[in-house]
Copies of this chain bind each other. A is one copy, B any other.
């Protein structure tokens, strides 16, 4: 049914040249006589020859394949990074494996399959733990980290200015007159969460407030965790404003606040982080910090390609800023209702 595919030698035979010349033609080498090139191209056409990428990889010792390891492929922020990175690398002749690595063991397995087995020329890793637990990681292999702070400058990295975002969110709330602020963090094992929390604390301290433990509750990024975190906070601290470290948790907070009989934003201001799709379609439209994850992915791809194609350059680092988007879940503190 499937006839064997023609090879470079079949083309060579038909064109009456050596297979090497065919190789030169398909690699667009300059050093080919126009007439020979024409003959070869005619032969390629006639046989519908398409070069075999695997054989090329074999001979060159590189695959032009890359991989992106992400905690999952579904979350909007990750998906955006992957889409942007894929598009960027493809424009440069590379292809991207999308791999879900939700835990350490799958990360290790992927490292083995992708890197050790030489399936790819480089990897992008989203949100890895950079505390040294990934002992198999190798700074000599082209790698770009997204969303974690690489320790020791061994790896190229792209990150949001999470601390800056935390500061900005908190200042916004302070500027509205709020004095009882609380925050709901992501898992504190993640750099992202700690950085945003640091921003929250720094902004508060800069304004002369002390930050106490009962102003901080750890969530897991889910709306449900935001819901529960609100209940804990409300019980222990009675905040007038909450900085949720992502939009999903902010949505959970708003629902929980309603269920507790509060109005948002009259009784409680809420600010999120991400500017997720449809953030403006929630009720009320969500105030949040916008992050450009596409740029994040694009930049990571660029750094990766650079470190592959110019192996001697130093690891690169990019920090992307966030931008506040003020909608309707935050407002000036109502003095008469101040608790």
Contact = CB atoms under 8 A, between A and B. Distances in A.
Nearest to A66: B97
- The count of identical subunits is 2
B248 A278 contact: yes
B86 A98 contact: yes
Given A50-B116, A117-B50, A281-B282, A76 B74 contact: yes
Contacts of A63: 54
Contacts of A74: 76, 79-80, 83
Interface in A92-137: 95-100, 112-114, 116-119
A251 B281 CA distance: 7
A119 B95 contact: yes
B86 A73 contact: yes
A99 B96 CA distance: 8
A57 interface: yes
Contacts of A278: 223, 248, 251, 278
A97 B63 CA distance: 13
Contacts of A2: 140
Interface residues of A, number: 47
B95 A83 contact: no
B95 A96 contact: no
A58 interface: yes
A82 interface: yes
Contacts of A116: 50
- Interface centre among A72, A97, A98, A118, by most chain B C-beta atoms within 10 angstroms, is A98
Given A223-B278, A281-B282, A100 B86 contact: yes
A283 interface: yes
Contact of A281 (B58, B82, B118, B255): B255
Nearest to A68: B98
A252 interface: yes
A75 to B, nearest CB: 8
A281 B252 CA distance: 8
A253 to B, nearest CB: 11
A16 interface: no
29 contacts: A1-B140, A2-B140, A50-B112, A52-B117, A53-B117, A53-B118, A54-B119, A55-B58, A58-B58, A65-B65, A73-B82, A74-B79, A74-B83, A76-B76, A79-B79, A82-B98, A87-B100, A95-B97, A95-B113, A95-B114, A95-B119, A96-B98, A223-B278, A248-B278, A251-B278, A251-B281, A252-B281, A278-B278, A283-B283
